[in-house]
Structure 1
Amino acid sequence: MNRIDNELLLDLSRRLIQLVTFDPPGNELPAAQLVASVLADFGIDSELQSIGDNRANVVARIKGNGNRPALIFSAHLDTISVNEADWSVPPFGALVKDGRLYGRGATDMKAALAAMVVAGIAVKQSNEPLQGDLILAFSAAENSSCLGARHMLDSGILDGSGALLVSEPTSLDVFIAEKGALWLQATAKGEYGHNAFSENRTGDRGSAILRMAEFLCRVRDLKVESPVHPLLGSPTVNVGLIQGGISWPLIAPQCTASIDIRTVPGLTADDVIAQFRTIAGPHVSIDLVDVKPPVDTPAEHPFVDLCVASVVAERGAQPLVTGVSYYSDAAVLAPALNVPMVIIGPGEVGKSGSVDEYVELDKLEASARIFADIALRYLA
């Protein structure tokens, strides 16, 4: 694909990085408006979908003749937060240095989003007759349980799609499976009292915090029973947040723990919840907060073959075809739309949300060519 505007690609990547879109609170609307404005400059209309105060998705459709289902390009506008004191470069300066673009979102995933925008423009300008639509679906609130993607589904704007390409970080390898994320909240109940008058209390002393601590020791030793996936391996468990108690002298009446379980195909939310309830004990309850299912596209699927062929054509070598432990908007979109999912992105795996986050410019430019080539192979 030789129509990629690399100057536009870098400029848009930098302008997106310069916008602060931490989720929470999000504030993705200016980024969505920027993308819409750039698309409009090239005759591509888009729709802003409000999902809350100063928050919006942006969705555009490059029309085909309707003989084939649409292809979705998926990326998100939000990022995680940043501690600027830890960085050696300004996190919103979008500094270009030694072949890299630095800044929050450079890897995850504003530069990749820009590559999809520019690839979409290239497809539009190619004047190739498209057999189906190319949908540019850029979401807000991916970090907030994929709320933007859920809104897209509810709106029906993605109906009629046949495949999903996500540009989360892969180092330009081809990821065809991702773990799911199951979020549970454990709540321990205690017996409120004052430590000064607790001489007769024994064991956990009626403290919700101690009861939670005992439960979490059992969580530490829990091996979630699950099939072992050939690309994703086994589930993992993390206790990410604990809250409880009132003050130093008061026996805690309640304590909560937020638990993240990365799931694999074949393991249901009900299976996991049942295993946690088995070890909960009499004072701890387990509640489901959110579930994002794992996604698994068969390696032999024609869409996988097509994506691999595009990477080979650009890179001259066979990419690694594998799975990844993070989740993406595909967790919401792919099952609901019943479409195959492939992830290809220029960002480095493991650099999402890192200090001095960056994307390599040669991979960024290559990704835009790959995205455009995939679209034309699938739609033209």
Structure 2
Amino acid sequence: MIKLLKNLINAESTPKKGELDAAKTISDFFKKAEIDVNLDSWDQNRANILAHIKSNAKKPALLFLCHLDVVEPGQAQWKFPPFQATEQNGKIYGRGAVDMKAGTAAAAHAIVQIKKSNIPLEGDIFFLATAGEESDSCGIKRFMENHKNIPNLAVVIVPEPTDFEVVTAHGGAFWLEVTTTGKAAHGSTPHLGINAISSAKMILDELENFKSKYLTKGCSLSVNTITGGNTINIVPDSCTIGIDIRTTIDQSHNQIIDNLQQLLNKIKKQNPDFNAEIKVTRDVPALQTDNQSQAVKQFLSTVGAGEPIAVSYCTDGAFVTSLKAPVIIFGPGNPQLCHQTDEYVEIKDCEKAVEHYKNIIMKFLT
């Protein structure tokens, strides 16, 4: 288990490097256990991996849904090298240790141990690890597009870090880029140009009230990036602001676009030189699983957890609701360590996760 986790951390799977090395690491692990595995790669270094253990199919199948990619380590100084897994004081350090290579390795280990036990299964096991979960969700979208005949599922398990709390609902993510265009001019004659940064400021001023006026309770809005201008002595002719909106299950993403476009039209009417366009860069719906479903109750009983909780972050689980199976997020590690410098997971939690996932498989498939 720990060896696989270390190998996954060492297989740098940032947006620049891609997921192919990490996918090969898991593929080799499953192949050694004689488990059917399919590695789907594209664009040189992007990859999904799907492993499958067949059964007599008397019961619905289980799907473990993981992701291979990690975020960049950032500019802060790490005590431990982010892509050289380090074991110290019962912890494994490295980028992706908690988000979510620990859960991925634990699920893979549990599946291999079940396979080696030769216990007869009455339902299939699927293990899917995807590309791009941290960015554009390209991997899960590609999988859903290419796999139209997925069998009936009892439950989808997402081994993200939850500190072993059972999560059945999460927020949506709606990322927008609004680009203003103007007219370049020499810095000494700004009156001859149209300043795109000034146009962007008009939007920022209006966004102060956008959340309270248009978003449902529980949603958030944050302007997190702004880029504009090429050099200090040229009036900028372009400026882009990046908006991160987190949504609840009852907030329509299309309605957000409509309301934002109305806001831009209002500014344009008052300022004829104003021009702006909206681009959606990420669109992940919110997730809500029925806590009263039999699958959720069985899951809670199996892992010995209390009431399910909801979280603000989002997962690839939001893209598989069309499969009509309950989606449950449950895994090792402290979620507050996600994307942090010197990210780590405790070894005892990794081992505990393996046992939990084996028990879940036994509960649902035997």
The 1-side partners of 2:108 and 2:190 are apart by 64
Q: Is the 8 A contact 2:135 2:282 kept in 1?
A: no
Q: 1:155 to 1:236 in 2, by over 3 A?
A: same
The 2-side partners of 1:60 and 1:152 are apart by 13
Task: Tell me, yes or no, if structure 1 residue 219 matches structure 2 residue 207.
Answer: yes
Amino acid aligned to 2:312: S
Gaps of 5+ in 1: 1-8, 229-233, 313-317
Amino acid aligned to 1:154: E
Task: Tell me, yes or no, if structure 1 residue 322 matches structure 2 residue 313.
Answer: no
The C-alpha deviation readout for 1:119-142, integer Å capped at 9, x for no partner, is: 111222333332221100011222
Task: Tell me, yes or no, if structure 1 residue 262 matches structure 2 residue 246.
Answer: yes
Which stretch shifts more, 345-354 or 93-102?
93-102
The C-alpha deviation readout for 1:40-79, integer Å capped at 9, x for no partner, is: 1111120000132122111111112122332110111111
Amino acid aligned to 2:209: D
SS for the counterpart of 2:176 is: strand
SS for the counterpart of 1:356 is: coil
- 2:34 aligns to what? 43
Aligned pairs (5 A) from 1:152-167:
152-156=143-147, 159-162=150-153, 163-167=155-159
- 1:4 aligns to what? none
The 2-side partners of 1:367 and 1:326 are apart by 21
Q: Is the 8 A contact 1:73 1:164 kept in 2?
A: yes
Question: TM-score, normalised to structure 2's length?
Answer: 0.91
Q: 1:79 to 1:158 in 2, by over 3 A?
A: farther
Q: 1:93 to 1:157 in 2, by over 3 A?
A: farther
The 2-side partners of 1:45 and 1:359 are apart by 29
The 2-side partners of 1:355 and 1:289 are apart by 26
Deviation at 1:189, TM superposition (A): 2.3
Tell me which of 370, 374, 379 is aligned to 2:356: 370
Identity among equivalent positions (%) equals 31
Tell me which of 11, 21, 34 is aligned to 1:19: 11
Q: Is the 8 A contact 1:28 1:140 kept in 2?
A: yes
Give runs of ≥4 in structure 1 deviating > 3 Å.
224-228
Q: Is the 8 A contact 1:242 1:256 kept in 2?
A: yes
Which stretch shifts more, 160-169 or 91-100?
91-100
Tell me which of 59, 66, 73 is aligned to 1:75: 66
SS for the counterpart of 2:244 is: strand
Question: TM-score, normalised to structure 1's length?
Answer: 0.88
Q: 1:191 to 1:290 in 2, by over 3 A?
A: same
- 1:249 aligns to what? 233
Tell me which of 191, 195, 220 is aligned to 1:236: 220
Q: 1:378 to 1:193 in 2, by over 3 A?
A: same
- 1:331 aligns to what? 318
